[in-house]
Amino acid sequence: MKILILGGGGREHALAWAISQNPKCTSLLCAPGNAGIAEIATCVALNIDDGEAVAAFAKAQAVDFVIIGPEAPLALGVADALRGEGILCFGPTADAAQLEASKSFTKEICAACNAPTADYAFFTDPGKARDYVEQQGAPIVIKADGLAAGKGVTVAMNVADALQALDDIFASPGGAVVVEEFMQGEEASFFVLSDGKTALPIGSAQDHKRAFDGDKGPNTGGMGAYSPAPIMTGAVTKKAMDEIVNPTLAEMARRGTPFQGVLFVGLMIRGGQPRLVEFNVRFGDPEIQTIAMRLGGQVLDLLLATAEGTLDQISVNWADDHALTIVMAAKGYPGAYKKGETIRGLGERSPQVKVFHAGTVKSGADILSNGGRVLAITARGKTLQDAHDRAYARLKRINWPGGFARSDIGWRAL
């Protein structure tokens, strides 16, 4: 098969790496890709937010299967454009992608199907939002209503921070906000494939959102992760499916917008009871690095079954192992940071350790930093401690003075 992956981050490198190991994949393209992806795929220049352009390229190149990585093309209807041209693709329609693109839409769905989640209020008026926050007090959660690349959420421990978050959101024209009850417990990321009829859980992970050790500092897109998440016991997984995932998928189908793709279910778990934090409609980054490391080439079979509507005919074959990923980011991230710094020590190869590229570019023979989150050093092992030790040993052999990483990834489980 000739396969096209849309995106150029760590998520897409992890998917490309896993898919390239499957013998069904005979040719792999990625748009726009990055320096790491370029080692295993042909990177092409293409506006991945333009559905017509993507569909035209896929037809011209005789692409058999398109995998849409990021959330923006999904929200903009790239999957709709591809399906309209009869091109097999992985990813939900724009209507179904509202589960990520609109926090208020997700809350409506939860209310309709009685899925447990935080109490909330929705505002487009800054004054009313401020009044509500001052009335409720802190801690409280402020969420921008649209796409925010994993960074549109403020967990405010005091009212001043909550009001500042509101000001930041309403500074943009058309700002809208969901203000939520602060939920206590332990978070987990749960991934479920759906072909519109069948739902298939494919793994769990826990990520580390804060920039610095000890879960201190600003929220980021994720500074590391590990899989599986110990808190996702069989009982918790069953509750999440029975009370959140299956009712949501049934409600989406009832509305005439069946969900086909991956549902990233962010959960808060307390006393064995999961509640929904949020849905995303694409694989999490850096969670997918750990899951792809554990699943390997069967990732392609699972994504194909999702796109073809045959998930009821496939199962997930898990090894009894663990994986852990450490994100190496540019100093200053998630604020201002430098690009264009040379990174050395990336040439080493190991079957149990992989350095996935997120924000890199090639310049001659050099690999340069080209983003905030730049590398994801990922290792697997029989135990989480094994994976942790391998990943941190590999991190030490990367020479990039302008980068930083947390030293405590996996602390909750270890």
Q: Same domain, yes or no, for 134 and 216? A: no
Task: Give yes or no for residue 151 having a pLDDT over 60.
Answer: no
Task: Supply the CATH number for residue 399's domain.
Answer: 3.90.600.10
Q: Same domain, yes or no, for 262 and 367? A: no
Query: Does residue 110 form part of some domain?
Result: no
Q: Give tens-digit pLDDT for 343-359.
A: 999 999 999 999 999 99
Write out the residue range of the structural domain in which residue 141 sits: 119-181
pTM comes to 0.93
Task: Supply the CATH number for residue 233's domain.
Answer: 3.30.470.20
Task: Supply the CATH number for residue 140's domain.
Answer: 3.30.1490.20
Q: Same domain, yes or no, for 48 and 62? A: yes
Q: Same domain, yes or no, for 177 and 193? A: no
Query: In the chain, how many domains are there?
Result: 4
Task: Give yes or no for residue 146 having a pLDDT over 80.
Answer: no
- What one-letter code names the amino acid at 173? P
Q: Give tens-digit pLDDT for 309-322.
A: 999 999 999 989 99
Query: Does residue 111 form part of some domain?
Result: no
d(CA 39, CA 13): 10
Query: Does residue 7 form part of some domain?
Result: yes
Q: Give tens-digit pLDDT for 263-315.
A: 999 999 999 999 999 999 999 999 999 999 999 999 999 999 999 999 999 99
